[in-house]
């Protein structure tokens, strides 16, 4: 048997050293493809021989165990065969003797058949242990006479079983012989393989010198392998980080999906609420339409009431126009009275000229009167201007009233024509003037403020614009108004 070569791949040694089983390749043959291919084939053959040796060892061990088992089985079967042969001979003798006994004792045969099973057990126990004395021999003889038929039938069945076992054993023996032939052939094949392996070893011995050049390549490859290993570790670390990020993203995605599901549920609930709201709004719209119809009816009633109010407003506007005219006449009367007062003051000035002592006082008073006169004249001019403005506004208001009256008459005619063609009302409604408040012009502010102000107030406004020096020329008394100044001057002179 060929012994297996050392396990593992070829050992690479330092240059100059050589160990059994290693191959040295010269540097000039290190890059040769044929050499590398032969080295690979040699290594593969070594591995194949190692595997075949291990398989042959296992098969040999199995064969030895199988041979031992077959020897034991053969010995056991031969012993059993001899025992069976002796038993058959003994049973034949007992059968012959029992047949003679059966002819003489027919009634006892039924009893023997009924108790054959128990007697067989007793007979086996008797055969298994040694007999003690003559008493045991007598008992066994008596029992043998009664169970002869039962033992004969049981012996026949056991003989048939033994013959079957013998045939099966012979078949297994033939199978084992075939396996033995196969193993002998495989051992011959293994011898041929060992011879081929020796030839390959010789070839590999020639290539052992080329292995030294491969050592440098192996070291460089180891360096590259270390670099690749470090890169692999880095990439593995990056992969772990990416896996962690992926896990976190997946968790975030699951959370987002849950939130989206919750939002979807909330949207469904909101949609249901909105549907309910639309239904409620539709009902509210129906009620609102009903309310609108009621409001239209009320609007017609309000329009009728509005026409009545407009009629009252027209009458009130006419009355206010009359009041304005009366107040204008009163303002003219007040202006005439003021002119009379000015004339009287002029006469008093002429009377005061006679007093020589009072000349400077009178001159000052005259200057005061002159300033007052100028102020009165300016106020009169402003009053005339305001009067003209009021007259213009009055004419405009009258023209507007005439225009509104014309529009009211035209609208009344149109309403009468519409009422003739209406079929909803069975009777003709009384004529109601159309609402003219939308087209009326409100009274001007001059009617409210300028025209209604009294004449004295207007004069005071003019005086406020040009404040005269109300001071006594003798004692320098500051008077609040012209009347008090005149009274004070008269008293101061006297």
Q: Calculate the CA dihedral of residues 181, 182, 188, 189 and round it to 10 degrees.
A: 170
CA 6 to chain centroid, in Å, comes to 65
| Least-confidence region, from 31-35, 115-119, 253-257, 351-355 | 115-119
If one counts every other C-beta atom within 10 angstroms of the C-beta of residue 270, the result is: 11
The continuous run of DSSP H or E covering 230 comes out as: helix 211-352
Residue 423 has pLDDT above 50, yes or no: yes
Query: Would you call 129 helix, strand, or coil by DSSP?
Result: coil
Residue 177 has pLDDT above 80, yes or no: no
Q: What is the DSSP letter of 439?
A: T
Residue 129 has pLDDT above 60, yes or no: no
Q: What is the DSSP letter of 453?
A: S
The predicted-structure confidence for 80-92, as pLDDT tens digits, reads as follows 778 777 777 887 7
306-309-311 Cα angle (round to 5): 115
Distance of alpha carbon 448 from alpha carbon 460, whole angstroms: 18
Mean pLDDT value of segment 227-255: 85
Q: Are 482 and 372 in contact (CB under 8 A)?
A: yes
Minimal CA–CA distance to 317: which of 449, 444, 174? 444
CA 389 to chain centroid, in Å, comes to 79
If one counts every other C-beta atom within 10 angstroms of the C-beta of residue 102, the result is: 15
Distance of alpha carbon 475 from alpha carbon 491, whole angstroms: 11
The predicted-structure confidence for 31-69, as pLDDT tens digits, reads as follows 677 778 878 888 888 888 888 888 888 877 887 888 788
Residue percentage of the chain with pLDDT more than 70: 65
Cα-flanking dihedrals φ and ψ of residue 429, to 5°?
A: -75, 155
Per-residue pLDDT at 176 = 66
Query: Would you call 406 helix, strand, or coil by DSSP?
Result: helix
Per-residue pLDDT at 187 = 64
Per-residue pLDDT at 168 = 74
Mean pLDDT value of segment 392-405: 88
| Least-confidence region, from 57-71, 161-175, 198-212, 387-401 | 198-212
Q: Calculate the CA dihedral of residues 165, 168, 174, 177 and round it to 10 degrees.
A: -70
The predicted-structure confidence for 358-373, as pLDDT tens digits, reads as follows 667 777 777 888 888 8
Mean pLDDT value of segment 184-203: 70
Distance of alpha carbon 345 from alpha carbon 342, whole angstroms: 5
Q: Are 66 and 176 in contact (CB under 8 A)?
A: yes
Q: Are 310 and 411 in contact (CB under 8 A)?
A: no
Cα-flanking dihedrals φ and ψ of residue 17, to 5°?
A: -105, 150
The predicted-structure confidence for 256-292, as pLDDT tens digits, reads as follows 888 988 988 888 888 888 888 888 888 888 888 888 8
β partners of residue 210: 25
Question: Quick one: pLDDT band at residue 25, thresholds 50, 70, 90?
Answer: low
Distance of alpha carbon 141 from alpha carbon 154, whole angstroms: 19
Mean pLDDT value of segment 12-29: 47
Residue with the two structure tokens 């052939």: 185
Per-residue pLDDT at 112 = 42
Per-residue pLDDT at 183 = 66
Minimal CA–CA distance to 310: which of 420, 428, 411? 411
Prediction pTM value? 0.21
Q: Calculate the CA dihedral of residues 435, 436, 437, 441 and round it to 10 degrees.
A: 170
If one counts every other C-beta atom within 10 angstroms of the C-beta of residue 412, the result is: 14
CA 325 to chain centroid, in Å, comes to 84
Distance linking the first and last C-alpha atoms of the chain: 179
Minimal CA–CA distance to 482: which of 456, 445, 450, 444? 456
Question: What contacts 24+ positions apart, CB below 8 Å, involve 9-17?
Answer: 9/43, 10/39, 10/43, 10/211, 12/211, 12/214, 12/215, 12/218, 13/215, 14/215, 15/212, 15/215
Q: Calculate the CA dihedral of residues 44, 48, 50, 56 and round it to 10 degrees.
A: -170
Per-residue pLDDT at 477 = 82
**Helix, strand, coil share of the chain (percent; to 5):** 80, 0, 20
> What integer best gives the mean pLDDT of the chain?
71
Distance of alpha carbon 284 from alpha carbon 276, whole angstroms: 12
Q: How many CA atoms lie within 13 A of 153 on its CB side?
A: 7
Q: How many CA atoms lie within 13 A of 458 on its CB side?
A: 24
Residues with Cβ within 8 Å of 461's Cβ and at least 6 positions away in sequence, in order, are 379
Distance of alpha carbon 405 from alpha carbon 411, whole angstroms: 10
The predicted-structure confidence for 458-482, as pLDDT tens digits, reads as follows 444 334 445 567 788 778 888 888 8
Which of residues 397 and 119 earns the better pLDDT score? 397
Residue 324 has pLDDT above 70, yes or no: yes
Q: In 289-437, which ranges are E strands?
A: none
Per-residue pLDDT at 437 = 41
Radius of gyration of the chain (CA): 77
């Amino acid at each position: 048997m060929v012994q297996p070569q050392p396990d593992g791949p070829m050992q690479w040694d330092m240059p100059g050293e050589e160990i059994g089983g290693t191959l040295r390749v010269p540097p000039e043959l290190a890059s040769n493809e044929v050499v590398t291919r032969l080295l690979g084939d040699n290594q593969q053959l070594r591995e194949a021989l190692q595997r075949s040796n291990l398989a042959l060892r296992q098969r040999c061990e199995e064969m030895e165990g199988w041979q031992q088992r077959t020897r034991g089985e053969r010995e056991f079967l031969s012993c059993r065969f001899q025992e069976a042969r002796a038993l058959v001979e003994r049973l034949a003798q007992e059968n012959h003797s029992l047949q003679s006994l059966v002819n003489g004792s027919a009634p006892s045969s039924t009893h023997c058949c009924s108790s054959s099973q128990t007697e067989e057990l007793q007979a086996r126990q008797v055969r298994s242990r040694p007999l003690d004395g003559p008493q045991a021999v007598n008992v066994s003889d008596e029992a043998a006479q009664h169970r002869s038929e039962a033992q004969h039938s049981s012996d026949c069945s056991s003989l048939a079983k033994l013959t079957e076992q013998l045939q099966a054993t012979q078949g297994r023996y033939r199978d084992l012989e075939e396996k033995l032939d196969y193993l002998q052939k495989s051992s011959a094949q293994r011898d041929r393989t060992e011879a081929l392996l020796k030839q390959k070893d010789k070839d590999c011995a020639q290539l052992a010198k080329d292995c030294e050049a491969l050592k440098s390549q192996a070291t460089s490859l180891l360096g590259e392998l270390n670099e690749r290993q470090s890169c692999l570790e880095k990439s593995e670390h990056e992969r772990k980080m990416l896996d962690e990020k992926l896990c976190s993203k997946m968790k975030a995605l699951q959370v987002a999906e849950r939130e989206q599901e919750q939002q979807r549920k909330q949207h469904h609930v909101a949609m249901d609420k909105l549907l309910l709201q639309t239904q409620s709004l539709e009902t509210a719209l129906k009620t609102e339409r009903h309310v609108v119809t009621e409001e239209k009816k009320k609007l017609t009633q309000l329009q009728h009431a509005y026409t009545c109010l407009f009629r009252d407003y027209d009458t009130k506007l006419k009355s206010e126009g009359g009041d304005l005219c009366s107040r204008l006449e009163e303002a003219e009367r007040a202006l005439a009275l003021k002119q009379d007062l000015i004339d009287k003051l002029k006469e008093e000035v002429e009377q005061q000229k006679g007093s020589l002592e009072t000349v400077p006082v009178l001159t000052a008073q005259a200057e005061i009167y002159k300033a007052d006169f100028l102020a009165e004249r300016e106020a009169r001019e402003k009053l005339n201007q305001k009067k003209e403005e009021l007259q213009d506004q009055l004419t405009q208001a009258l023209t507007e009233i005439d225009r509104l009256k014309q529009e009211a008459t035209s609208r009344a005619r149109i309403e009468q024509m519409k009422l003739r063609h209406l079929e909803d009302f069975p009777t003709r409604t009384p004529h109601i003037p159309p609402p003219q408040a939308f087209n009326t012009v409100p009274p001007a502010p001059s009617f409210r403020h300028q025209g209604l102000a009294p004449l004295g107030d207007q004069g005071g406004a003019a005086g406020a614009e040009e404040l005269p020096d109300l001071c006594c020329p003798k004692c320098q008394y500051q008077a609040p108004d012209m009347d008090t100044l005149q009274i004070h001057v008269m008293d101061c002179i006297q």
